[in-house]
Structure 1
């Protein structure tokens, strides 16, 4: 069993040509792309961990992995997402996946990532749409092959991932803590993101 976090493991798989493709797609340098991906992966996985902390969230995510993302090759998903071509429908629909992960808080999460990485909202939104299907395919590939795969185990693994990201800090961990844990109620709410963006929104509901 690797001591790497899931984010680190996936980040390692994206080195080389995939990262080059991402930087070309966004029209930015490879170093900036690498930094942005390194910040976005813990944010996406941490948000999934937050959602999966609730039993209904864990069941919904587990079902989505089985239904839409099982058996997909990471390279194929990456190629489909980056080419914008005839990608497998829901599997590569980053916008829809982000909507499920962040709900109404999605624009604020994108703005926070854009501000933290210097990408700006538009390019950070593009980056998250590229990465969201890749993250879910990676989770399906990494997790569904295990005999112990079930919603509870998925919730546990993603919960550990969220803790690791926050303990490690850095840009990804710091952003995750800021975006997800503003009101400490265990729910990602629009109030959480607004408090990061403006500091003037009082409640978490």
Structure 2
């Protein structure tokens, strides 16, 4: 893939959506924009890691079809999320499992977000990421991704691309997912996760 999904979604959020997010979090718009730019690769990369396992791909595909298809434009969805809708907390639990708090702490440390603002930002962005994926992966002309296997393949490529690009988003993704610090998600990491990464009920 040329342009990453994270970059594509970031471009769609420029302007009024970023302005609304900055107002909701009480941040200067430039800081909010930078935090969103770091958070999107973290979210999409973690989703990609989940979908690299068949059970994770099946779970995500079902969730996109059931809960996130047909949610309308991102601006309308953002308004709903900022008003308290969107199930951001629940979605983050599926995406990060036991690493949800670590993801928020890492994002806060990397972007200078104080208090619970990093967690708030992830809760705002999580439903938007899922709606974006549903529209992108299940939309007309997207036959290649209209299966759990196709979805897993595309999102796996996205995760690899985010890691290879590095930068703040790629570095955060590695720090959150590779708990052992060895660059690999091995057996020790999976045991620490307790299965939470697959997004299934524990």
**What is the TM-score normalised by the length of structure 1?**
0.85
Residue matched to 1:103: 97
Answering whether residue 151 of structure 2 is matched by residue 167 of structure 1, we say no
Instruction: Summarize deviations over 1:47-102 as a string: whole Å, max 9, x none.
Output: 00111111000000000000000111122211100122xx4xxxx10000000111
Secondary structure, counterpart of 2:143 in structure 1: coil
Note closer, same or farther for the CA distance 1:190–1:117 as it changes in structure 2 (3 Å cut): farther
Measured in 2, the distance between the counterparts of 1:181 and 1:107 equals 15
Query: Is contact 2:48–2:158 with CA below 8 Å preserved after alignment?
Result: yes
Answering whether residue 143 of structure 2 is matched by residue 147 of structure 1, we say yes
RMSD of aligned alpha carbons: 1.7
**Range 68-77 or range 58-67, more displaced:** 68-77
Residue matched to 1:34: 33
Which protein, 1 or 2, shows the higher relative CO under an 8 Å CA cutoff with sep ≥ 6? 2
Answering whether residue 117 of structure 2 is matched by residue 118 of structure 1, we say no
Measured in 2, the distance between the counterparts of 1:34 and 1:48 equals 21
Q: CA deviation at 1:190?
A: 8.3
Measured in 2, the distance between the counterparts of 1:49 and 1:103 equals 14
Query: Is contact 2:177–2:185 with CA below 8 Å preserved after alignment?
Result: no
Q: Which runs of 5+ in 1 are unaligned?
A: 193-205
Measured in 1, the distance between the counterparts of 2:39 and 2:152 equals 20
Secondary structure, counterpart of 1:4 in structure 2: coil
**Range 179-188 or range 19-28, more displaced:** 179-188
Query: Is contact 1:47–1:180 with CA below 8 Å preserved after alignment?
Result: yes
Query: Is contact 2:44–2:159 with CA below 8 Å preserved after alignment?
Result: yes
Measured in 2, the distance between the counterparts of 1:42 and 1:100 equals 16
Q: Which runs of 5+ in 2 are unaligned?
A: 194-202
- Number of residue pairs matched? 185
Give structure 1 regions of 4+ aligned residues with deviation exceeding 2 angstroms. Answer: 185-192
Measured in 2, the distance between the counterparts of 1:102 and 1:176 equals 11
Residue matched to 1:67: 66
Measured in 2, the distance between the counterparts of 1:190 and 1:158 equals 23
Secondary structure, counterpart of 1:3 in structure 2: coil
Residue matched to 2:81: 81
